[in-house]
Amino acid sequence: MTIKLGIIGAGRVGRLHANTLTTRIPGAKTLVVADIFKDAAKSAAEDYGIPDFTTDPSELIGSGDVDAIVICSSTDTHCRFIIEAARAGKQIFCEKPIAFDLAEIDEALAAVDEAGVQLQIGFNRRFDANHARVKQAIERGEIGEAHTMTIISRDPAPPPIDYIKVSGGLMMDMMIHDFDLSRFLLGEVEEIYALGDVKVDPAIGEAGDIDTAKVMLRFESGAFGSIENSRQAVYGYDQRVEVFGSKGAATTGNWHPNAVTISDAMSVRRDLPLHFFVERYFESYVSEMIAFVDAIANGKTVPVVGNDGRVPVVMAMAGMRSLRENRPVRLDEAEV
């Protein structure tokens, strides 16, 4: 069965998914790409052999030829397009976060439920082979009872200030991936305590955000966790995870462009890590889209459902509240 798709958003991630859908998934056929900027839509269509493009996402959603919609537009449009696509009977893939507001998220999820369609959220790091192996080690009992978890996630450089201003903040934009990964590995979180500051660029603070944060997590299982984020690691994209347990630990480190170590009289060294998320997590983006198309084609439940998109937003809200109030915040407090 061939699934016919349309893509909304022809930016960096939209183009990444267009590449995957047109080159890596035989059961997918991308018919149209939409972007409010005509040149972006046209360029994506030409570059990836997509037959049609439009500047009107509603035209794409309303097409009777399209089975599923891939939403890669700006966050402030996600809920509107989810609701519109659900009411049109389309299956939906949406990039994170769903929205910055829980009422909007709940309205979108209700529309999905009412229409009886599926919604997968784009938390691609679950599909990384290393993270999946850490989860497998936990589930198989290879490390015994999980006691602590550490996630380090540092970008090579901050995004533009104009992006910072509309991003929802470090916890909603960047750390949200780590919030999801923490749930993927160790289950639900009940309490968060956050520290954060501006260490990299004063302009980020002037825009109302932070660029460096440390967050402590208390899991319902009794395990503890920590997440550390920075907008700038001068040596490249720093992505590390460790889960420590009663019988051992499962650890994954940075990926490098090669495995060569250079040793001489002055030092022992290797090349810097892969530069950024597209290089580091490319295969996980492919895997998540394969899983989406497979679920739609074969009547299976998508692997990252709507509530998996909602909970990390609640976690980000709890983290931001903790930062403001300088105290641990329970997730149920952030729901109020």
At 203, is the pLDDT very low, low, confident or very high (cuts 50, 70, 90)?
A: very high
Give the pLDDT mean for 113-132.
98
Give the pLDDT mean for 117-140.
98
pLDDT digits (tens, 9 = 90+) for 156-168: 999 999 999 999 9
pLDDT at 244 over 80: yes
pLDDT at 42: 97
Output the CATH code of domain 126-277+312-334. Answer: 3.30.360.10
Tokens of 49: 């052999």
Residues 21 and 30 sit within 8 Å (Cβ to Cβ)? yes
Residues 6+ positions from 155 with CB-CB distance below 8 Å: 174, 230, 231, 232, 233, 237, 276
Give the pLDDT mean for 172-182.
98
d(C-alpha 13, C-alpha 184), whole Å: 22
pLDDT at 336: 72
pLDDT at 90 over 90: yes
User: Can 3-117 and 126-277+312-334 be said to share one CATH topology?
Assistant: no
At 145, is the pLDDT very low, low, confident or very high (cuts 50, 70, 90)?
A: very high
Give the pLDDT mean for 171-183.
98
Give the pLDDT mean for 28-38.
97
Residues 212 and 229 sit within 8 Å (Cβ to Cβ)? yes
Length of the chain: 336
What's the predicted TM-score (pTM) here? 0.95
pLDDT at 101: 96
pLDDT at 149: 98
Q: Is 158 helix (H, G, I), strand (E, B) or coil?
A: coil
Output the CATH code of domain 3-117. Answer: 3.40.50.720
User: 326's torsion region: left (phi>0), alpha (psi -120 to 50) or beta?
Assistant: left
d(C-alpha 46, C-alpha 304), whole Å: 31
pLDDT at 31: 98
Annotated domain spans of the chain: 3-117, 126-277+312-334
pLDDT at 335 over 90: no
